[in-house]
Structure 1
Amino acid sequence: MALGTVAAVSAGLALASPAAQAADPSASVAGSDSASRERAFAAASAEFGVPRTVLEAVSYSQTRWDFHPGHSSSGGYGPMHLVDAALGSAAEGRGLGEAPTPTPDPVADTLGRAATLTGLSKDALRTDERANIRGGAALLAATQKRLGLPTGQATDAGQWYAAVADASGSSEQDVADAFADDTYSVIASGASRRTIDGKQVSLPPSRVKPQTGLAGRLHLHQKHNKGPVDCPPGLDCEWLPAPYAQTGPGAGDYGNHDLAKRPVAPKITDIVIHNTEGSYDTALKLVSDPNYLAWNYTVRSSDGHIAQHLDPKDVGWHAGNWYINGHAIGIEHEGFAAQGAQWFSEPMYRSSARLVRYLAREYDIPLDMQHIFGHDQIPGVTAANVAGMHWDPGPYWNWEHYFQLLGAPLQSHTARHAKDLVRILPGFEDNQQIVTYCDDKVADSCGSQPTNFVYLHTAPSESAPLVGDIGRKASGAPSTTSVSDIGARAQTGLTFAVAERQGDWTAIWFNGVKGWFLNPVADPTAVPVRGYYVVPKAGLAKAPVYGRAYPEASAYPAGIPAQAVSPLQYTFAAGQRYAVGDLTVPTDYYRAVTFSPDTPNDHVDVVGQDRYYQISLGHRFAFVRAADVDVVPAR
């Protein structure tokens, strides 16, 4: 939800007079040029008496100033994310495969209220940036008047704290306050970016003391969570538990997760970022089905609301790799990977990042892409599983922005003169790679969206074929630009070992081959970093790689069958090198094959002495045995 509660409608804010409309500078200068959104903010600020810093910061917190043409999960439109509740309900219905139920929620219907306050049509508020921003300003000003607080372009921005909190759309005090705090942090730090549709907007940093006590005038609720919710203060979380239930007569007929005693055994080391490939309501139905599978949290797109399903001590079945499941917390994000920004909203990014920061502190998880990663980076457990692994959250998830919100920018810890390792950092908004078959029947169906990767070629030329991936195509045939084909994508934030350089081109070792990408000095798409890499031990022609770090056979006690340590189809030969992601990988196998936790030799973590390292093999990471490789400090 966005921009206020229903009481704002009754605030009695007068519609803009004809004289005020005639004096609106954007009426004559709004257009399709890059400065039009900036002018629209200035004009709406003057017309409705909202400090421009407040108006722009609220918009940034909702959409980062992008113009969404109807957010898929909530019917939210434009840079102010004005919500058409009827269309939002219809969108939810379509996601569930049900008939839409277009009954507007008056609290959520910010677009309808903005139409009442401004006299503008809903269609104009949906499609015109000037109208949309005027609508958002009108809502803020109406709330400020209702609360008996001063309006005016020159009023102290700190006096708008309650109106900003109300703009969160939440009736919960801590959630509304958290949104306001985020917004005021934008005012303090400033922001500047070119939006996805090419508009340049800048908000200079300014010193403002938010008057947090004014939020009491909203008379919001204090939230009391039921169940063992493990979320930070100020995050809109609820407990919607996944069932742990027996589904048949056998001891192994149960779902949809396993009981455990994490982080004692196994240790929690990772957080997996997923997307649901369905609506929020559909995801809740699935995670509530004992015959399906469970993950830890689901984040709603429209407002960043979070449902927790598992206690982190228990093991969800979400990663498609039992070893990763044992060590990971899984977070699903409402949306479809092939549609990208239509679903990956700013409230979603902010809520998810706040949750991940909290969990990372709680479980001592490093804030890097070797420990906080996408489902698409997880290897198959065996060679036979590789081709069927998932590819979410896909090419449109903004990893750079996400890690900025985590407080761990991917641009940090670079080393100007390092030679052996590079981190892929092409930017996001300006990095619009060709992607095809977002509709699996239509090649040209993805449109132009920012992407989070660079393509890798077999030679230093744009015309050279893309590198192949023998895990996806055993023949090693070239990868494609299809939205689901990760075989030639070097993803933002990942670190790789340099194989060669030629002019503006850099080659990295990638799934056993050289992959070339354009990396000009004047406009680099990768940055040099320090770290370590591995090479096969002297005398080994090649080193095997694995999808899991299981113990040696001698580590298994009587009654627990030893699990095969099965190499993947990838190897890397002498002369190749791969960046190290983690030198402290747990070596264990969590045995859980029966419903009852009291079953002998079950719900046991088998720990081995063999050692593994996590390496950056390709788009997906992998593991190598310490006995097979040497670790080398990168220059």
Structure 2
Amino acid sequence: MHFWLAWPLSLLAALVPVTAHDREVPAGRQADFAAAAREFGVPQSVLLGVAYLGSRWDTHAGRPSTAGGYGPMHLVDAVPAGAPTPGDALGDARGDDARPMPPRPVHMLSPLSAAAKPPSTTLPEAGRLIGVAPARLRDDPAANIRAGAALLASYHATQSAGRSASSDPADWYDAVARFSGADDPAAARQFADEVFAVIRAGMRRRTDDGYLVSLDPVPGLRVPRAHREPYPEEDEDVVFPDSDDTAALYDPAEVTAASGRSSSAECPASLACEWMPAAHERFGKKGNKDYGNHDRLFKTRHVDYIVIHDTEGGYQGIPTMIRDPKYVSWHYTIRSRDGHVAQHVKTNDLAWHAGNWDVNTRSIGIEHEGYLAKGGAWYTEAMYRSSARLVRYLAAKHGVPLDRAHILGHDNVPGTTPKTVAGMHEDPGPYWDWAHYFELMGRPLRGARKGDSVMIRPSYDDNRPRFTGCVTTKAGKECPPHGASTVWLHTAPRENAPLVSDIGKHGDKASTYSVYDHAARASTGQRYAVAERRDDWTAIWYLGQKAWFRNPAGRPVAVPAKGPLATPLRAGTRVYGRAYPERSAYTKAAAQPLTPLQYRIGPGQTYTVGDTITGSHYSAGALSPSRHVTTTGTTRYHQIQLGHRIAFVMAKDVRLIS
């Protein structure tokens, strides 16, 4: 059994505390699933499992998913308007001063590109089966569940040659696979496998509109034998390094099986993946030395980070975009509806995705179909599970520790120079469920019994901070209430105190509550040094200042944590967005400037350390990798959690506290 997916129901239940509020909310959603299952002869576990993969049982207030799906059953109506524009499309994805990307207009590709088919619709058919208009299925969760159950039953009837509905969940495997809407049989099987994994483990969760829904575990449920290969139901355990380890142990069989598959994609054997290669060619008129859209390497690359992005659009235009040499690149894209994975760049090659050349040279970038500002609407469970499986495999293969100092959001990548700080990207945003993501990877974000630092760890479903900038209403641009992974940081221990300031993001202007503004936020899994405690409030060191957040003992949003810390030796200590070597180290390539960011830190302040590295620079100013040059110096850097983003300090400028 996949140990990182099979969380016991009792443990998951413990993550959702039952409060007086819970007891007051009627169990309507659970009753809706039960009634629909009885009416159409669908095993309740199957109906709940399918809905969980598509929506985590949420309604999203009638808003469509990236794929055009609605309601708890994620019934797809039509492809939403809007073309995909992965975050780096609006900026310099290389982040290389020596070779900046020339400004180009954003590609306005049709989301129904000829390179990809639109998602198949299910909502109209489901509505016809129960005689309900499509509009009602978008807004009425109970009707949506009934229609989804009817659709599942119709698929089962077709594939069982009209025999009466089976009460054995295993007999519904083909119907579940078809419900995914995936054209690729392997992707459809993967969706069904994940549904069965949820059913085996059980699940309990509070929905976005306040209902507690439970799926009792069915531990003996097996994938039908005919569907077990080539995606085995069971993997061997993989042991990951702690934050300060330098190498990972992994199951050689899983990696060997993946590398030996007919597909060129680098994926675990248990994950259906597609090889969709990015362009690597010259472009322009004769004599033009520019090329795209990634760099190929002739020697083994060291990987320190895996960077999580969202596409800010639908999957349909991705094939055309990734094959354009004038565009940007990233290593993988994951589709929201069914968790399908496409790889574009080999992990040993260098994609242009993070907007910071140093981070690009040491990272793997993964795009996820979704929107930052849509309230977590449709970062689907299918996508989370495929991504967790992929990251777990990549971390083992490349020796990347599974912690928030190395599994970064694009919003955690630092600017390269003071000029670029304000324009760095914000995806995947506050609605990405980091705690759930790490649970799926088998490395839950736990703290320590005692420690001089804290790990931000609010309950995602219960933590519903105020955000603006999602939708325009009569009341303004307030975002609908929704679970989130971040906490607001104030200048003093009170709710009405101003938010802390970020001179790099806003200059002398105040921080805002915009969903796009990370200037005064700390995110789940990030570790910070404690500066002070006062009543229900905790202060952390953040961008050279004390930043306060409410952290009551009875309902904490942070937990004690341990790990190395660094304190500056002198006032005005500089921080950097890149760990580049000293000028004297460059003998075969042009020297890169050691440009500090606009932030300064000083004695009395303390910052958590996520890694320690030696400065290096990779020069890739030519199409041929034989002309690339690596420069390694002697300057040592500590990676610190400066604010919402990481940064680097020279080891000589700080004192390390173990």
Pairwise same-fold verdict (TM > 0.5): yes
Aligned to 1:587, the other structure's residue is in SS state: strand
Shift of 1:315: 1.0
Corresponding residue number in structure 2 for 1:575 = 604
Shift of 1:182: 1.8
Any idea what the Cα deviations from partners look like across 1:584-631, whole Å, max 9, x if unmatched?
A: x35210011123334xxx312212222111111100001111112222
Confirm or deny that 1:268 pairs with 2:303. yes
Residue of structure 2 aligned with 1:519, choices 536, 541, 551: 551
Corresponding residue number in structure 2 for 1:91 = 81
Matches within 5 A, 1:57-72: 57-68=49-60, 69-72=62-65
Any idea what the Cα deviations from partners look like across 1:73-112, whole Å, max 9, x if unmatched?
A: 322121111122xx22x536799675989xxx99923223
Matches within 5 A, 1:303-318: 303-318=338-353
Residue of structure 2 aligned with 1:591, choices 619, 626, 646: 619
8 Å CA contact retained: 1:50, 1:151: no
In 2: Cα distance, 1:488 partner to 1:216 partner? 48
Residue of structure 1 aligned with 2:518, choices 477, 486, 491: 486
Corresponding residue number in structure 1 for 2:264 = 228
How high is the TM-score relative to the length of structure 2? 0.82
Aligned length: 577
Sort the Cα spacing of 1:277 and 1:45 in 2 relative to 1 into closer, same or farther, 3 A. closer
Shift of 1:186: 1.6
In 2: Cα distance, 1:381 partner to 1:238 partner? 33
Confirm or deny that 1:45 pairs with 2:73. no
Residue of structure 2 aligned with 1:607, choices 627, 632, 641: 632
In 2: Cα distance, 1:34 partner to 1:370 partner? 41
Any idea what the Cα deviations from partners look like across 1:441-484, whole Å, max 9, x if unmatched?
A: 99424222222211111110111111001111333x43111222
Between 1:506-515 and 1:450-459, the stretch displaced more is: 450-459
Shift of 1:500: 0.1
Confirm or deny that 1:110 pairs with 2:122. yes
8 Å CA contact retained: 1:187, 1:208: no
Any idea what the Cα deviations from partners look like across 1:333-355, whole Å, max 9, x if unmatched?
A: 22321124334222222222222
Matches within 5 A, 1:546-585: 546-557=576-587, 559-583=588-612, 585=613
Sort the Cα spacing of 1:511 and 1:310 in 2 relative to 1 into closer, same or farther, 3 A. same
In 1: Cα distance, 2:118 partner to 2:629 partner? 52
Corresponding residue number in structure 1 for 2:495 = 462
Any idea what the Cα deviations from partners look like across 1:498-519, whole Å, max 9, x if unmatched?
A: 0000000000000000000000
8 Å CA contact retained: 1:162, 1:212: no
8 Å CA contact retained: 1:111, 1:122: yes
Sort the Cα spacing of 1:97 and 1:322 in 2 relative to 1 into closer, same or farther, 3 A. closer
In 1: Cα distance, 2:507 partner to 2:127 partner? 58
Sort the Cα spacing of 1:54 and 1:586 in 2 relative to 1 into closer, same or farther, 3 A. farther
Confirm or deny that 1:397 pairs with 2:425. no
8 Å CA contact retained: 2:576, 2:648: yes
Confirm or deny that 1:139 pairs with 2:156. no
Matches within 5 A, 1:412-561: 412=446, 414-418=447-451, 420-438=452-470, 443-475=476-508, 477-537=509-569, 540-557=570-587, 559-561=588-590
Any idea what the Cα deviations from partners look like across 1:224-251, whole Å, max 9, x if unmatched?
A: 9886311223434322222122224456
Shift of 1:533: 0.5
Corresponding residue number in structure 2 for 1:278 = 313
In 2: Cα distance, 1:386 partner to 1:139 partner? 49
Any idea what the Cα deviations from partners look like across 1:352-389, whole Å, max 9, x if unmatched?
A: 22221221122111111111111111111122221121
Shift of 1:65: 0.7
One-letter amino acid matched to 1:622: A
Any idea what the Cα deviations from partners look like across 1:399-453, whole Å, max 9, x if unmatched?
A: 122222222222x2x21232x1001111212211111123599942422222221
Residue of structure 2 aligned with 1:622, choices 617, 632, 647: 647
Corresponding residue number in structure 1 for 2:238 = none
Corresponding residue number in structure 2 for 1:257 = 294
Residue of structure 2 aligned with 1:354, choices 389, 396, 402: 389
Between 1:464-473 and 1:520-529, the stretch displaced more is: 464-473
Shift of 1:173: 4.3
Sort the Cα spacing of 1:515 and 1:293 in 2 relative to 1 into closer, same or farther, 3 A. same
Any idea what the Cα deviations from partners look like across 1:36-59, whole Å, max 9, x if unmatched?
A: 110011111211222212211121
Between 1:361-370 and 1:155-164, the stretch displaced more is: 155-164
In 2: Cα distance, 1:242 partner to 1:424 partner? 37
Between 1:466-475 and 1:64-73, the stretch displaced more is: 64-73
How high is the TM-score relative to the length of structure 1? 0.84
8 Å CA contact retained: 1:286, 1:292: yes
Aligned to 2:555, the other structure's residue is in SS state: coil
8 Å CA contact retained: 2:84, 2:312: no
8 Å CA contact retained: 1:161, 1:210: no
In 2: Cα distance, 1:158 partner to 1:353 partner? 25
Sort the Cα spacing of 1:98 and 1:253 in 2 relative to 1 into closer, same or farther, 3 A. closer
In 1: Cα distance, 2:322 partner to 2:262 partner? 18
Aligned to 2:648, the other structure's residue is in SS state: strand
Confirm or deny that 1:156 pairs with 2:163. no
Sort the Cα spacing of 1:443 and 1:394 in 2 relative to 1 into closer, same or farther, 3 A. farther
Shift of 1:171: 4.7
Any idea what the Cα deviations from partners look like across 1:269-292, whole Å, max 9, x if unmatched?
A: 111111222332344433322222
Between 1:60-69 and 1:163-172, the stretch displaced more is: 163-172
In 1: Cα distance, 2:450 partner to 2:83 partner? 54
Shift of 1:142: 2.7
One-letter amino acid matched to 1:566: T
Question: For structure 2, which runs of at least 5 residues remain unmatched after alignment?
Answer: 1-23, 86-107, 230-257
Corresponding residue number in structure 2 for 1:36 = 28
In 1: Cα distance, 2:173 partner to 2:643 partner? 47
Corresponding residue number in structure 2 for 1:6 = none
Corresponding residue number in structure 1 for 2:250 = none
Greater RCO structure (CA 8 Å; 6+ sep): 2
8 Å CA contact retained: 2:500, 2:520: yes
Sort the Cα spacing of 1:110 and 1:323 in 2 relative to 1 into closer, same or farther, 3 A. same
8 Å CA contact retained: 1:299, 1:306: yes
Sort the Cα spacing of 1:589 and 1:533 in 2 relative to 1 into closer, same or farther, 3 A. same
Structure with max Cα Rg: 1
Over the aligned positions, Cα root-mean-square deviation in angstroms equals 2.8
8 Å CA contact retained: 1:174, 1:234: no
In 2: Cα distance, 1:281 partner to 1:163 partner? 25
Percent sequence identity is 48
8 Å CA contact retained: 1:161, 1:214: no
8 Å CA contact retained: 2:589, 2:629: no
One-letter amino acid matched to 1:112: P
Between 1:561-570 and 1:313-322, the stretch displaced more is: 561-570
In 2: Cα distance, 1:114 partner to 1:277 partner? 28
In 1: Cα distance, 2:132 partner to 2:550 partner? 48
Corresponding residue number in structure 1 for 2:275 = 239
Shift of 1:172: 4.0
